Amino acid sequence: MTVATFGERQEGIQYVNRYGVYAVIPDEKKENIILVQAPNGAWFLPGGEIEQGEDHLTALKRELIEELGFTAHIGQYYGEADEYFYSRHRDTYFYNPAYIYEVSHYEKLQAPLEDFNQLAWLPIEEAISKLKRGSHKWGIEMWKKSHKV
Protein backbone atom coordinates (compact mmCIF):
# COMPACT_ATOMS: atom_id res chain seq x y z
CA MET A 1 0.00 0.00 0.00
CA THR A 2 1.14 3.50 -0.71
CA VAL A 3 2.69 5.71 1.97
CA ALA A 4 3.45 9.35 1.21
CA THR A 5 5.17 11.88 3.48
CA PHE A 6 4.57 15.62 3.72
CA GLY A 7 6.54 18.09 5.76
CA GLU A 8 9.84 17.24 7.35
CA ARG A 9 10.64 15.72 10.73
CA GLN A 10 12.92 18.20 12.48
CA GLU A 11 15.65 17.04 14.87
CA GLY A 12 15.17 18.00 18.51
CA ILE A 13 11.43 18.63 18.16
CA GLN A 14 8.92 16.75 20.31
CA TYR A 15 5.98 15.71 18.09
CA VAL A 16 2.51 14.79 19.31
CA ASN A 17 1.11 11.81 17.41
CA ARG A 18 -2.34 12.46 15.95
CA TYR A 19 -3.65 9.52 13.89
CA GLY A 20 -6.46 10.53 11.56
CA VAL A 21 -8.77 8.99 8.99
CA TYR A 22 -10.26 11.01 6.13
CA ALA A 23 -12.62 10.52 3.21
CA VAL A 24 -12.71 11.67 -0.39
CA ILE A 25 -16.43 12.10 -1.06
CA PRO A 26 -17.38 12.95 -4.66
CA ASP A 27 -20.83 13.95 -5.86
CA GLU A 28 -22.73 11.53 -8.13
CA LYS A 29 -21.20 12.97 -11.31
CA LYS A 30 -17.68 12.90 -9.82
CA GLU A 31 -17.32 16.62 -10.57
CA ASN A 32 -17.21 18.00 -7.02
CA ILE A 33 -15.69 16.96 -3.69
CA ILE A 34 -17.13 17.94 -0.31
CA LEU A 35 -14.76 19.77 2.05
CA VAL A 36 -15.07 20.95 5.62
CA GLN A 37 -13.94 24.45 6.57
CA ALA A 38 -12.88 24.79 10.21
CA PRO A 39 -13.70 27.96 12.19
CA ASN A 40 -10.11 29.18 11.56
CA GLY A 41 -10.80 29.21 7.80
CA ALA A 42 -8.69 26.14 6.91
CA TRP A 43 -10.20 23.53 4.54
CA PHE A 44 -9.92 19.78 5.14
CA LEU A 45 -11.29 16.49 3.87
CA PRO A 46 -14.07 15.19 6.11
CA GLY A 47 -12.71 13.02 8.90
CA GLY A 48 -10.53 13.43 11.93
CA GLU A 49 -8.72 11.88 14.82
CA ILE A 50 -8.99 8.16 15.53
CA GLU A 51 -10.06 7.84 19.15
CA GLN A 52 -8.78 5.16 21.52
CA GLY A 53 -10.37 1.79 20.80
CA GLU A 54 -11.53 2.73 17.29
CA ASP A 55 -10.41 1.16 14.04
CA HIS A 56 -10.24 3.22 10.84
CA LEU A 57 -13.77 2.50 9.66
CA THR A 58 -15.43 3.06 13.04
CA ALA A 59 -13.62 6.40 13.42
CA LEU A 60 -14.43 7.52 9.89
CA LYS A 61 -18.12 6.64 10.18
CA ARG A 62 -18.31 8.57 13.49
CA GLU A 63 -16.53 11.59 12.01
CA LEU A 64 -18.84 11.67 8.96
CA ILE A 65 -21.93 11.79 11.21
CA GLU A 66 -20.32 14.50 13.37
CA GLU A 67 -19.11 16.69 10.51
CA LEU A 68 -21.59 16.03 7.68
CA GLY A 69 -24.58 14.17 9.12
CA PHE A 70 -23.83 11.43 6.54
CA THR A 71 -23.93 7.67 6.79
CA ALA A 72 -21.55 6.21 4.25
CA HIS A 73 -20.38 3.13 2.45
CA ILE A 74 -16.60 3.22 2.75
CA GLY A 75 -14.93 2.14 -0.48
CA GLN A 76 -11.34 1.96 -1.63
CA TYR A 77 -8.44 2.57 0.77
CA TYR A 78 -5.84 4.80 -0.89
CA GLY A 79 -3.10 4.54 1.68
CA GLU A 80 -1.33 6.42 4.41
CA ALA A 81 -0.08 9.97 4.03
CA ASP A 82 2.13 11.02 6.94
CA GLU A 83 2.42 14.71 7.69
CA TYR A 84 4.70 16.70 10.00
CA PHE A 85 3.47 20.19 10.84
CA TYR A 86 3.38 22.91 13.46
CA SER A 87 0.00 24.17 14.65
CA ARG A 88 0.15 27.84 15.62
CA HIS A 89 -3.38 27.53 16.99
CA ARG A 90 -2.28 24.80 19.43
CA ASP A 91 1.42 25.82 19.66
CA THR A 92 2.27 22.16 19.05
CA TYR A 93 4.24 20.09 16.55
CA PHE A 94 2.24 17.17 15.19
CA TYR A 95 3.04 13.91 13.45
CA ASN A 96 -0.23 13.16 11.66
CA PRO A 97 -0.51 9.84 9.82
CA ALA A 98 -3.64 10.24 7.67
CA TYR A 99 -5.42 7.14 6.38
CA ILE A 100 -7.37 8.07 3.26
CA TYR A 101 -10.49 6.29 2.01
CA GLU A 102 -13.07 6.82 -0.68
CA VAL A 103 -16.76 7.05 0.17
CA SER A 104 -18.53 5.29 -2.69
CA HIS A 105 -22.07 6.03 -1.48
CA TYR A 106 -23.50 8.28 1.20
CA GLU A 107 -26.85 9.31 2.57
CA LYS A 108 -27.58 12.52 4.45
CA LEU A 109 -29.19 11.25 7.64
CA GLN A 110 -29.33 14.34 9.84
CA ALA A 111 -27.83 17.75 10.48
CA PRO A 112 -24.13 17.58 11.38
CA LEU A 113 -23.50 17.19 15.11
CA GLU A 114 -20.70 19.75 14.85
CA ASP A 115 -22.36 23.01 13.87
CA PHE A 116 -19.23 25.19 13.83
CA ASN A 117 -17.81 24.02 10.48
CA GLN A 118 -18.77 25.21 7.00
CA LEU A 119 -19.37 22.58 4.29
CA ALA A 120 -18.90 23.09 0.57
CA TRP A 121 -19.06 21.00 -2.59
CA LEU A 122 -16.21 22.29 -4.76
CA PRO A 123 -14.94 21.42 -8.23
CA ILE A 124 -12.10 18.91 -7.89
CA GLU A 125 -9.18 21.21 -8.76
CA GLU A 126 -10.55 24.04 -6.61
CA ALA A 127 -10.94 21.60 -3.71
CA ILE A 128 -7.30 20.54 -4.08
CA SER A 129 -6.11 24.15 -4.18
CA LYS A 130 -8.06 25.08 -1.01
CA LEU A 131 -6.92 22.16 1.14
CA LYS A 132 -4.47 23.02 3.92
CA ARG A 133 -2.77 19.63 4.29
CA GLY A 134 -0.61 18.01 1.64
CA SER A 135 -1.87 14.62 2.80
CA HIS A 136 -5.44 15.63 1.94
CA LYS A 137 -4.42 16.94 -1.49
CA TRP A 138 -2.62 13.64 -2.05
CA GLY A 139 -5.82 11.76 -1.15
CA ILE A 140 -7.79 13.53 -3.88
CA GLU A 141 -4.97 12.92 -6.38
CA MET A 142 -5.09 9.20 -5.53
CA TRP A 143 -8.88 9.23 -6.01
CA LYS A 144 -8.46 10.97 -9.39
CA LYS A 145 -5.96 8.31 -10.54
CA SER A 146 -8.22 5.44 -9.53
CA HIS A 147 -11.18 6.97 -11.39
CA LYS A 148 -9.18 8.39 -14.29
CA VAL A 149 -10.63 11.85 -13.57
Which whole number is the average pLDDT over 4-29?
96
Question: Which of the four pLDDT bands, split at 50, 70 and 90, describes residue 5?
Answer: very high
> Nearest Cα to 4, choosing from 146, 149, 147, 141?
141
pLDDT the model gives residue 1: 59
Reported as a single tens digit per residue, the pLDDT across 82-121 is 999 999 888 999 999 999 999 999 999 999 999 999 999 9
Model pLDDT, residue 2? 65
CA 48 to chain centre: 7
pLDDT single digits (tens) 116-143: 999 999 999 999 999 999 999 999 999 9
Q: What is the 3-state secondary structure (H, E, C) of 67-89?
A: HCCEEEEEEEEEEEEEEEEEECC
> Could you report the per-residue pLDDT of 59-74, keeping only the tens digit for each?
999 999 999 999 999 9
Q: What is the mean pLDDT of residues 12-31?
A: 96
